[in-house]
């Protein structure tokens, strides 16, 4: 038997050479001895096939041991155990700050609305274009109804300059044809007591607005403005329409409380209602039925307040009236609110994600309604008689479905 091996040639390239192989039989077993060069070390001219076989049987390219792999995993887990809590805490802090910012934004938006409206409390806008009348008026101690070209922005209790020259006079409007029970049946009528004659049939005479602010723009007294309720009125939109606004608390549903520093606070919704004011005749005849508020809607949710202590978490009431002035408006004495302080604390839901504690956001502001300050100035100047009285239809009452 022969075996083929490769031997290097003169050119360094391998060439095939047949080398005899020994064969024999010993103990009934046949054997073949390997060729001489096949048993030795491969020479420099080993073919690519033989080299490939050589490399495949070696330990070249061995991987990590199991122990090294376990150590690497343990180190990675140790590092991650230190990093993950930091990342989780940072995420909780970020989410908590975001929730707090949203609560602050809600309270801030509510304060902006309240501030704008309270700033207009007591405002009684004058009309710029004079009204005219073509009626012939004879002076009388009794009230008379006369027709104007327009009675828009004229309400019972307002004052008007009538006519010019020697017959000019200042009269108070007692009623208008816009009032359902008015004695004036024709449209665009006003009722007043005229002390001078006025001839409008030949030349229409003017009526000029002389309206003063309502000193009682923020209503005080039993059942009205308190530490948790605010009632006021005025020409809030400067469109000649007097509107009545009520801010009040009503518990959230289902009822919920939180404890802060040992004090239990109930969660409330702060509601807002706005309704145009209707007027009654002056002087009132018979019993006047108060007007009814429009249903209220939620302005701020989850307001923290303790009714018994009349305070929120900051120790302050929602509405405070630190500066009140008493002035005389014939035939009564009224209280004018010079300053109002508003403090709203809102519960942040859910709990603080980082600490697990109850957290809240507080917004506060102080407002000095300029129209009420103007009413005080008019009183000090001796003009209290010209301040319009509180409309007899106020304060309003709430309907059965008031809180929606």
Q: By the 8 A CB rule, do 176 and 154 touch? A: yes
What are the domain boundaries of the chain? Answer: 91-118+214-386, 131-209
Average pLDDT over residues 119-126: 94
pLDDT surpassing 90 at residue 404: no
Q: Which residue has the higher pLDDT, 257 or 110?
A: 257
The pLDDT value recorded for residue 86 is 74
User: Would you tell me how many other CB atoms lie within 10 Å of the CB of residue 40?
Assistant: 10
Residue 251 banded pLDDT, cuts 50, 70, 90 = very high
The pLDDT value recorded for residue 170 is 96
Report how far apart the first and last C-alpha atoms of the chain are (Å, whole number).
109
What SS3 class is residue 158? coil
The pLDDT value recorded for residue 121 is 95
The pLDDT value recorded for residue 322 is 93
How many contiguous H segments (helices) and E segments (strands) does the chain have? 4, 21
Q: What is the DSSP string of 5-55?
A: EEEE-TTS-EEEEEEE--EEEETTEEEEPPPHHHHS---TT--HHHHHHHH
- Give the pLDDT confidence of 1-38 residue by residue, as tens digits: 444 444 444 444 444 444 454 545 555 545 445 454 44
Cα–Cα distances in angstroms (integers) from residue 379 to residues 26, 92, 214, 330, 372, in the given order: 142, 58, 11, 11, 11
C-alpha–C-alpha distance, residues 365 and 118, integer Å = 12
The pLDDT value recorded for residue 42 is 45
The pLDDT value recorded for residue 4 is 45
Out of 67-71, 96-100, 218-222, 225-229, least confident range: 96-100
The pLDDT value recorded for residue 17 is 47
Q: Which residue has the higher pLDDT, 109 or 351?
A: 109
Q: Which of 159, 153, 150 is nearest to 240 (CA)?
A: 153
The pLDDT value recorded for residue 155 is 95
Average confidence score pLDDT of the chain: 83
* Chain centre distance of CA 84: 35
Average pLDDT over residues 205-215: 94
Out of 177-181, 266-270, 356-360, 377-381, least confident range: 356-360
Residue 268 banded pLDDT, cuts 50, 70, 90 = very high
The pLDDT value recorded for residue 98 is 65
- Give the pLDDT confidence of 301-310 residue by residue, as tens digits: 899 999 999 9
Residues of the chain with pLDDT > 90, as a percent, come to 53
The pLDDT value recorded for residue 96 is 61
Residues of the chain with pLDDT > 70, as a percent, come to 78
The pLDDT value recorded for residue 241 is 94
Average pLDDT over residues 325-337: 76
- Give the pLDDT confidence of 220-239 residue by residue, as tens digits: 888 899 999 999 999 999 89
What own/partner pairs with CB < 8 Å and gap ≥ 24 does 40-43 have? 43/7, 43/8
The pLDDT value recorded for residue 329 is 65
Which residues are CB-neighbours of 324 under 8 A, at least 6 positions away? 220, 335, 336, 337, 338
The pLDDT value recorded for residue 223 is 85
């Amino acid at each position: 038997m022969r075996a083929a091996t490769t031997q290097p040639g003169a050119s360094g390239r391998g060439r095939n050479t047949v080398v005899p192989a020994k064969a024999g039989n010993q103990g009934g077993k046949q054997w073949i001895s390997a060729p001489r060069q096949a048993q030795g070390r491969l020479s420099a001219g080993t073919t690519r096939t033989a080299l490939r076989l050589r490399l495949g049987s070696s330990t070249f390219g061995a991987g990590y041991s199991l122990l090294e792999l376990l150590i690497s995993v343990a180190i990675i887990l140790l590092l991650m155990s230190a990093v993950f809590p930091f990342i989780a805490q940072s995420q909780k802090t970020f989410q908590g700050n975001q929730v707090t910012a949203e609560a602050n934004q809600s309270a801030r938006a509510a304060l902006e609305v309240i501030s704008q409206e309270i700033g207009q409390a007591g405002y009684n806008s004058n009309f710029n274009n004079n009204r005219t009348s073509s009626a012939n008026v004879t002076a009388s101690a009794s009230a008379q109804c006369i027709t104007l070209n327009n009675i828009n922005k004229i309400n019972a209790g307002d004052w008007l300059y009538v006519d010019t020259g020697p017959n000019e006079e200042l009269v108070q409007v007692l009623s208008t044809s816009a009032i359902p029970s008015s004695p004036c049946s024709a449209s665009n009528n006003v009722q007043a007591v005229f002390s001078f004659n006025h001839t409008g049939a030949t030349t229409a005479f003017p009526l000029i607005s002389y309206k003063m602010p309502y000193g009682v723009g923020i209503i005080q007294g039993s059942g009205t403005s308190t530490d948790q309720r605010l009632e006021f009125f005025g020409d809030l939109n400067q469109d000649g329409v007097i509107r009545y606004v009520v801010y009040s608390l009503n518990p959230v549903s289902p009822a919920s409380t939180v404890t802060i520093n040992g004090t239990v606070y109930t969660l409330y919704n702060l509601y807002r209602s706005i309704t145009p004011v209707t007027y009654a005749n002056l002087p009132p005849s018979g019993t006047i039925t108060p007007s009814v508020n429009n249903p209220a809607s939620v302005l701020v949710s989850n307001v923290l307040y303790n009714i018994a202590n009349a305070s929120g978490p900051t120790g302050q009431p929602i509405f405070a009236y630190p500066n009140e002035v008493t002035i005389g408006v014939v035939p009564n004495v009224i209280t004018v609110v010079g300053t109002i302080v508003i403090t709203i604390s809102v519960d942040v839901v859910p709990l603080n994600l980082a600490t697990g504690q109850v957290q809240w956001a507080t917004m506060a502001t102080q407002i000095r309604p300029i129209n009420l300050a103007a009413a005080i100035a008019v009183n000090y100047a001796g003009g209290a008689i010209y301040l319009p009285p509180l409309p007899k239809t106020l304060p309003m009452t709430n309907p059965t479905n008031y809180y929606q």
